[in-house]
Chain A
Amino acid sequence: MSGARPRRPLRLRLRGLAAALLAGLAAWLAAAPARAQALLADLSQNQLGITTGFTGAQLLLFGAIEGGGDILVVARGPNHDIVVRRKARVAGIWVNGLEARYREIPSYYAVIGTAPAHDILPEDVRRRLGIGIDSLPLLARGPGAADPGFTEALVTLKRTEGLYGENEVEFALLAGRLFQTRIALPDTVLTGRYMIEVHLVRDRAVVQTVTLPLTVRREGLGAEIWRFAREFELLYGLGAILLAALAGWLGSILFRR
């Protein structure tokens, strides 16, 4: 876990509470299905720091719905470019052969919900909103593009790394109103902006969506080292040499024979 987590400022939490009260009031006054604030949701934190002790994180997502329905949560990480390679046997040894390249695909993607998305949403809506791994635009290019095996392997490998997931964690809905679940981020997550969409589904349609941003960034000494290695590559290299020379010299002093 990542040490002290930044909590949301009190002001924001109060604002959330006020919004909830107002929504309740509005619903009661109108005595009609609450359209304005039928769904409220928030994350336990909207900043996540990757520090030297980072081993992954579990973010708490919580909220409330008014008037019943199903909830679907879609979490997306920043896009990245990736290449999938397939090993082939050449003269008895296994070498990387065909490859397929994917540009601008989500580095992280998770769906969690009260029910499987394809049971509660029409297929075209589900695909348009990008709910479910099979609705991701994973467009292959390169020599292996024609073979669907590459895209399957991409999804399988991402799933085993915990970077793609469908209903991998529990979704708790209390008394049909309060809900709570977790966004599980492994230690290999990329830094950048994450988007968590919470959809309220009623009668096979999305009636409301709340979007929660999350920023993942490097913090502490590790972040400084990474930045320095990229921005001042020459100095970093010289520093690494100096460090090794110093360690060797110290060793020879400590254990002088």
Chain B
Amino acid sequence: MQVYLPIAEMSVDALLILALGGGVGFLSGLFGVGGGFIMTPLLILVGIPSPVAVATSANQTMGASVSGLIAHWRRGNVDVKMGLVLLAGGLVGSLAGVRIFRWLRAIGQVDLVVSLFYVVILGTVGGLMVVESARAILRRRHKVRQKLHQHLWMHGLPLKLRFRASRLYISVIPPAMIGLVIGFLSAVMGVGGGFILVPAMIYLLGMPTGVVIGTSLFQVVFVTANVTLLQAIENHSVDVVLALLLMVGAVAGAQFGAQMGGRLRGEEMRGLLGMLVLAVATQLAVDLFRVPEQLYTLGPLL
């Protein structure tokens, strides 16, 4: 069944988009991530112009994250104070990101930059995840004890605040900076950024794992909402028809994923997610180096 996307200005097979949303939703339910980092490249692969893919994927990620946030909020797993500090950075970062995105689009380098960001960020994060989970699996066998959290130099910076829910007394500068970077990536890549935010909160801020997912979802929901709004205003590239189709698929897919996810151990799951992230990065890297089928491309003059 063909559906004409009003903003992308092209027709797509509705069933294909539903299946895509379902598949990504399944993975996001399985691994507890938003799935934006798989969604954007897949949408581009299907032929959706990258500005629309990035903006709509942010919109879709927001919808997927709202469900998760509600669930974690009920259980009291959200450190609101920490979330607000992250968000403050995130709003500034996403504003800068959308502006830069617009400029890149005008000079015709948006596809390249989106791909490069994906390759570098996903490659690094995926690699780290695989290594870390392998270590964790080994550690489980050898029963080595770990400290609650380590104190890093940056925790001693000025503007210290007490984060009761996270049992931390640290400077607000590191979380605000992390929020800023995630906000920027969210605007340029159309991701929620949970897959970077979660490890950053654990390893850089030393937050207890119980509140990490909930707090990260808090930041993701509001930053992707901000990205959606800014992309709609600056680039006119949010396609609500596409977003709705993706969300319907994703909501259903996420439930199956979550059921499957219950059967896997945490470190095994992180290892699998790491491999998935690496696979996406490798695919995009290969595309960057391969001789393009079309040497010339047409684009609107902005």
Nearest A residue to B71, CB-CB = A252
Contact of B3 among A53, A103, A150, A230 (CB under 8 A): A53
Complex interface bits, B202-240 against A, C-beta within 8 A gives 1, otherwise 0: 000000000000000000000001001111110010101
Please indicate the chain B residues that have their CB under 8 angstroms from the CB of A211 in the complex: none
> Per DSSP, are chain B's interface residues mostly helix, strand or loop, or mixed?
helix
Chain B interface residue count, Cβ-Cβ cutoff 8 angstroms: 56
Please indicate the chain A residues that have their CB under 8 angstroms from the CB of B62 in the complex: 241, 244-245, 248
Please indicate the chain B residues that have their CB under 8 angstroms from the CB of A81 in the complex: 300-301
A255 and B244 in contact, given A222-B4, A233-B236, A245-B62 (Cβ under 8 angstroms): no
Chain A interface residue count, Cβ-Cβ cutoff 8 angstroms: 60
Q: Are A239 and B108 in contact (CB under 8 A)?
A: no
Q: Are B236 and A250 in contact (CB under 8 A)?
A: no
- Chain A CB within 8 A of B158 CB: no
Nearest A residue to B119, CB-CB = A93
- Chain B CB within 8 A of A187 CB: yes
- Chain A CB within 8 A of B146 CB: no
Q: Are B6 and A51 in contact (CB under 8 A)?
A: no
Complex interface bits, A211-247 against B, C-beta within 8 A gives 1, otherwise 0: 0000000100111011001100110111111011101
Contact of B112 among A83, A96, A239 (CB under 8 A): A96
- Chain A CB within 8 A of B276 CB: no
Complexed CA–CA distance, A103 and B301 (Å): 9
- Chain B CB within 8 A of A128 CB: no
Q: Are A52 and B301 in contact (CB under 8 A)?
A: no
A243 and B4 in contact, given A87-B295, A101-B301, A188-B10 (Cβ under 8 angstroms): no
Q: Are A223 and B67 in contact (CB under 8 A)?
A: no
A52 and B3 in contact, given A187-B10, A240-B243, A252-B67 (Cβ under 8 angstroms): yes
Please indicate the chain A residues that have their CB under 8 angstroms from the CB of B300 in the complex: 80-83
Complexed CA–CA distance, A154 and B241 (Å): 31
A245 and B232 in contact, given A222-B241, A237-B238 (Cβ under 8 angstroms): no
Complex interface bits, A170-190 against B, C-beta within 8 A gives 1, otherwise 0: 000000000000000001100
- Chain A CB within 8 A of B40 CB: no
Complex interface bits, A144-186 against B, C-beta within 8 A gives 1, otherwise 0: 0000011001101110000000000000000000000000000
Nearest A residue to B296, CB-CB = A153
Please indicate the chain A residues that have their CB under 8 angstroms from the CB of B295 in the complex: 86-87, 153
Contact of A82 among B7, B70, B288, B298 (CB under 8 A): B298
Q: Are A96 and B297 in contact (CB under 8 A)?
A: yes
A96 and B243 in contact, given A244-B62, A251-B254 (Cβ under 8 angstroms): no
A99 and B236 in contact, given A51-B4, A85-B299, A252-B67 (Cβ under 8 angstroms): no
Q: Are B233 and A154 in contact (CB under 8 A)?
A: no
Q: Are A83 and B4 in contact (CB under 8 A)?
A: no
- Chain B CB within 8 A of A29 CB: no
Contact of B108 among A99, A221, A230, A248 (CB under 8 A): A99
Complex interface bits, B63-105 against A, C-beta within 8 A gives 1, otherwise 0: 1111101110000000000000000000000000000000000
> Which A residues are closer than 8 A to B by beta carbons?
50-55, 80-87, 92-96, 99, 101-103, 149-150, 153-154, 156-158, 187-188, 218, 221-223, 225-226, 229-230, 233-234, 236-241, 243-245, 247-252, 254-255, 257
* A-B contact sample (19 more), CB < 8 A, given A80-B300, A237-B232, A247-B248: A53-B2, A81-B301, A82-B299, A83-B300, A84-B299, A87-B292, A87-B295, A94-B291, A94-B292, A96-B111, A99-B108, A157-B297, A229-B232, A236-B238, A241-B229, A244-B247, A248-B70, A248-B247, A249-B66
> Which B residues are closer than 8 A to A by beta carbons?
2-7, 9-11, 59-60, 62-67, 69-71, 108-109, 111-112, 225, 228-233, 236, 238, 240-241, 243-244, 247-248, 251, 254-255, 258, 288-292, 294-301
